[in-house]
Amino acid sequence: MGLFIGFMKRPVASTEENFKIRPLKRNKILEELSIMSEEKELTIEAARRSETGKSYNRKLRAKGLIPGNIYKEEKSEMIELDPKWLSKAWKNGKKFNLSIDGQIKPVLIKELQINPVKRSAVHVDVMYL
């Protein structure tokens, strides 16, 4: 049984045309940065959850959501939210708006647990401001 290498081709000789460097569009980059700095505070949607336990939380993570807790003055609520915007909120001062049942309230990330291998969020604890 021989090795089939018929699909392999020799690399084309490099020319200056293949390696043209496009000029940096500095003005466009500066505009994007100014727009990002003027953005309103980030809003993340969440839903309350009633089920607890390791198996339910694993199912949540398999769906692409992460479990979390909202700490109030005396009690806490369990929530599930989409981690897509969580890293952006973490980088922007750990403050964002949380939308639950149509109510939008400002919150602060108190603890964010991260999977050390995948580098993805596993659990989040937030507190109302």
Rounded mean pLDDT of 77-94? Answer: 86
Residue 54 maps to a domain: yes
CATH number at residue 57: 2.40.240.10
Q: What is the pLDDT of residue 6?
A: 52
Pairing of strands 121-128, 66-71: parallel
Instruction: Give the structural domain span for 114.
Output: 41-128
Backbone angles phi, psi at 54, to 5 degrees: -65, -40
Rounded mean pLDDT of 4-26? Answer: 53
Alpha-carbon span 127 to 108, nearest angstrom:
5
In three-state secondary structure terms, 121 is strand
Residue 63 maps to a domain: yes
Residue 8 maps to a domain: no
Alpha-carbon span 54 to 59, nearest angstrom:
9
Residue 20 maps to a domain: no
Residue 27 maps to a domain: no
Place of tokens 């769906």: 63
**pTM exceeding 0.85:** no
Q: Domains in the chain: how many in total? A: 1
Under 8 Å between Cβ of 99 and 46:
yes
Q: How confident is the model at residue 38 (pLDDT cuts 50, 70, 90)?
A: very low
Residue 5 maps to a domain: no
Residue 31 maps to a domain: no
Q: Provide the 8-state DSSP code for 19.
A: G
Q: What is the pLDDT of residue 117?
A: 94
Residue range 7-16, pLDDT digits in tens? 555 555 555 5
Rounded mean pLDDT of 38-51? Answer: 80
